[in-house]
Amino acid sequence: MLVDNNLISEERKRRNWTQQHLADACGVSLRTIQRAERDGQVSNETVQALNAVFDINLMQVDAEVVLKQTGNIKNDKPVWLQALPLMIALVTGIFLGAFLAVVVLAH
């Protein structure tokens, strides 16, 4: 399950806890907390433990985190600007192909 890794880190730091302290409080390994804070990937059991320890609901942010991490949140750039490099490559390829065809046919 994907959760907000920044929220986990912020809640832990707000309490002045180490990652090991949080791991002990949740009954999980230090590695699990490190992975949760790094990329937000945790099991359902870890989410339940974090919810209980922090007295928050990480499930509420899950959908927003998925959108953010998969890039489905609206990008600031307009679509035409995102497609510009592809369009330039396409037009360049067309002109280069036409030029080579003219050169080959001329000889």
| Reported pTM | 0.57
Q: For the chain, what is the mean pLDDT?
A: 84
pLDDT tens readout for residues 39-51: 888 898 999 999 9
Rounded distance, CA 55 to CA 85, Å?
47
Two tokens, residue 44:
């359902």
pLDDT of 59: 67
Q: pLDDT: is 37 or 75 the higher one? A: 37
Contacts of residue 61, Cβ cutoff 8 Å, sequence gap at least 6: 3, 4, 7
Measure Cα distances from 97 to 83, 91, 93, 103 in Å. 21, 10, 6, 10
Angle, to 10 degrees, between the axis of helix 30-39 and the axis of helix 19-26? 110
CATH of 1-73, one of 1.20.1250.20, 1.10.260.40, 3.50.50.60, 1.10.490.10: 1.10.260.40
Domain ranges of the chain: 1-73, 75-107
| Mean pLDDT computed over 55-63 | 67
DSSP for residue 18? -
Burial class (CB in 10 A: 0-12, 13-18, 19+), 19: middle
Residue indicated by tokens 């007295």 = 55
